[in-house]
Amino acid sequence: MATHLVWLRNDLRINDNSALAAACRDSNAEVMALFIATPAQWQQHHMAAKQAAFIHQSLLLLQDALAGRGIPLHYHQCQDFAASVDYLETFCDEHKVDALYYNYQYEINERERDAAAEKRLDARGVTCQGFDDSLLLPPGSVQTGNNSMFKVFTPFSKAFVRRLQQSLPECYSAPKARAGAPVRKKVPIPAFDYPLEAFDDTLFPPGEEAALKQLRHFAQQGVKDYPQQRDTPAVDGTSRLSPYLSTGVLSPRQCLHRVLKEHPHALTAGEGLVWLNELIWREFYRHLLVAFPALCKHQPFVDWTRHVAWQTNKAHLQAWQEGKTGYPIVDAAMRQLNTLGWMHNRLRMITASFLVKDLLIDWREGERYFMERLLDGDLAANNGGWQWAASTGTDAAPYFRIFNPTTQGERFDQTGAFIRQWLPELRQVPDNHIHQPHLWAQKNNRKLDYPAPIVEHKEARKKTLDAFERARSVA
């Protein structure tokens, strides 16, 4: 009897799991799964403690789901990727594994790990099969007429949609229970030797069943209102699916097929198209990561921006991190991040712009801090978003486009409902003054337990423009 091993990483689900489906096609093979935790590597990659806890809880639920199909989930912890390859080789020897199945990860360290694993296992006679599983379309499959990666999103998106209109990617069903699978005692999965921090499991319940329930709910009700509500942080108008996508508890193919089931014309116009475009942004950044590996090393895409003279101001950085900048929409957003490990997408743009364009602090400081806090931390999306805000990335906001944090607050949280939720010290401030509370306090001789603005936006804007223009002139 052949023995097939599924090496699980960011694919913690039984439905639409390409590697798992392939491993189970031979009904006579014994199938087992393996998850290897690498806390030292996670530390290097700044994984958030909340995300680690979310992964652990999702893993426990996955173990039960696999066991119900006669597939044992083995667990091991070692320090880093090099050690994980050593253990994988040992595991395959001990269990006489004939074939290894895994889903690709596209970050540079992960790709190097997988190449090393394949080389070692090939030499030992283990057949290795990898799959493009975390994307709708494989990297390199959507290119310009010159057979190169798109550097601008809009033409990429149009070409991407055309490909989907021609042929939709397949969704795989969960494997059936393995007939005659040996009964094995469940091996407990201990807590990772890594900081674990509780997350709000009412907003983000772990596991595949919860992810599919949220997807169905959003596709049926939320997609229709998404274009009107997605930029209003006080409204529950987003999908809240990002933690499931970033950890592989849910696949983008499941999202696409579910939305098309509820909104059949989503790839042409109307309901669903706006939200599906967000999935395509996710694809764009991942395709870029493969085409330009330097992005994995936190290098700017636009070369001349290397010359920007960023400021080192620990007090300003700390004020931004703690939500104490004196700009209510920025501070409310940062406190949401620190509490939930999640931030509304519009607010990610506002807070990133403020750090880079108002405080002139290196975007990599913000990128790292977000990864350390985000339940949905994902290198490609996080790096892409930060480089967009910093005007250092491909198809980024022009360097002279600088959000005014006050007017952004007035536009997207007009009455201050979101601000008051996260800044209780401003609850007494009237709606028409909530975005500049110190002017109200001064006018009414009131004292606020809230910091004054740490910079004046108009002056900060000029300083930033000067810094970028100097950098461009010396490049």
CA–CA gap between residue 105 and residue 289 (Å, rounded): 11
CA–CA gap between residue 419 and residue 415 (Å, rounded): 9
Active-site hit among 363, 388, 422, 440 = 363
Is 367 annotated to bind ligand? no
The number of C-alpha atoms within 13 Å of 76 and in the hemisphere containing its C-beta is: 18
CA–CA gap between residue 94 and residue 222 (Å, rounded): 49
Active-site hit among 197, 209, 262, 278 = 278
Is 226 annotated to bind ligand? yes
Q: For residue 351, which of 330, 337, 365 has the smallest C-alpha distance?
A: 330
Is 362 annotated to bind ligand? no
CA torsion angle for 55, 283, 256, 266 (degrees, to 10)?
A: 140
Residues 6+ apart with CB under 8 A from 47: 194, 371, 372, 377
Is 284 annotated to bind ligand? yes
> Strands 99-103, 73-77: parallel, antiparallel or unpaired by DSSP?
unpaired
Could you give the angle at the alpha carbon of 361 between the alpha carbons of 355 and 366, nearest 5°? Answer: 60
Is 283 annotated to bind ligand? yes
Is 415 annotated to bind ligand? no
φ/ψ of residue 99, rounded to 5: -145, 140
Is 278 part of the annotated catalytic residue set? Answer: yes
Token pair for 51: 């995300």
CA–CA gap between residue 315 and residue 332 (Å, rounded): 18
Is 240 annotated to bind ligand? yes
Is 102 annotated to bind ligand? no
The tokens 């091993």 sit on which residue? 5
The packing angle between helices 405-412 and 328-340, to 10°, is 70
Active-site hit among 42, 320, 342, 386 = 386
Q: How far is CA 129 from CA 98, 115, 176, in A?
A: 11, 12, 21
Is 345 part of the annotated catalytic residue set? Answer: yes
Is 363 part of the annotated catalytic residue set? Answer: yes
Is 250 annotated to bind ligand? no
CA–CA gap between residue 275 and residue 281 (Å, rounded): 10
Active-site hit among 281, 304, 338, 372 = 281
Active-site hit among 109, 338, 345, 410 = 345
Is 402 annotated to bind ligand? no
* Residue 259 CB neighbours (<10 A): 24
Is 376 annotated to bind ligand? yes
Residues 6+ apart with CB under 8 A from 374: 48, 50, 51, 337, 341, 342, 343, 382
Q: For residue 335, which of 455, 421, 404 has the smallest C-alpha distance?
A: 421
Is 13 annotated to bind ligand? no
On whether the CB atoms of residues 164 and 256 are closer than 8 A, the answer is yes
φ/ψ of residue 354, rounded to 5: -65, -45
CA–CA gap between residue 234 and residue 221 (Å, rounded): 18
Is 180 annotated to bind ligand? no
Is 242 annotated to bind ligand? yes
Active-site hit among 197, 277, 304, 310 = 310
Residues in binding site for FAD: 226, 238-242, 275, 278-285, 376-378
Residues in binding site: 226, 238-242, 275, 278-285, 376-378
**Catalytic sites, residue numbers:** 278, 281, 310, 345, 363, 386
